[in-house]
Structure 1
Amino acid sequence: MSLEARVTELESRLAFQDDTLQTLNDVLVEQQRLVDRLQLQMAALIKRHEEMQGQFQIEGEDVPPPHY
């Protein structure tokens, strides 16, 4: 294999690897945005759940169920 063919092959591989790395980086950035958004939604849901739990909290632990 000639030197020119080897250099061309290496340049081709480098271009492919650069493109692959950029694609992976783009996917990673998008996934991080999604994770950040999901974390915010989860925090909001937890806060809402705690607020609702406070509204309907039963005073005693030994209170019998309503069917008794």
Structure 2
Amino acid sequence: MDSKEVERLENRINDLECQLAFQEDTIEALNNALTQQQQAISRMQEQMKFIAGRLKTFNESHIADQSQETPPPHY
């Protein structure tokens, strides 16, 4: 191998190392974003469970019985 071939191969290796570093950076950023999204989804699921539980325990006695309501004056 002559010196130009060695230099060309070194340049290719440097380019590949740069690409690898960039990809590792991108993967780390995507992993962080995914982790944050999963945490947000988990919080929302817990909130939905809480709301669903509250709705199940909501007693209909809080709502007036329609048969006991007097009709509005315009009837």
TM-score normalised by the shorter chain: which range applies? 0.7 to 0.9
Length-normalised TM-score, structure 1: 0.77
Q: Does 1:5 align with 2:11?
A: yes
RMSD between aligned alpha carbons? 2.4
Task: Mark the structure with the bigger radius of gyration.
Answer: 2
Q: What count of residue pairs does the alignment treat as equivalent?
A: 65
The residue number in structure 1 matching 2:58 is 52
Q: For 1:1-68, list aligned pairs within 5 A.
A: 2-56=8-62, 66=69, 67=71
Q: What is the CA distance between 1:55 and its match in structure 2?
A: 4.2
Q: What is the CA distance between 1:38 and its match in structure 2?
A: 0.4
Q: Which runs of 5+ in 1 are unaligned?
A: none
Q: Which runs of 5+ in 2 are unaligned?
A: 1-6
Q: What is the CA distance between 1:19 and its match in structure 2?
A: 0.3
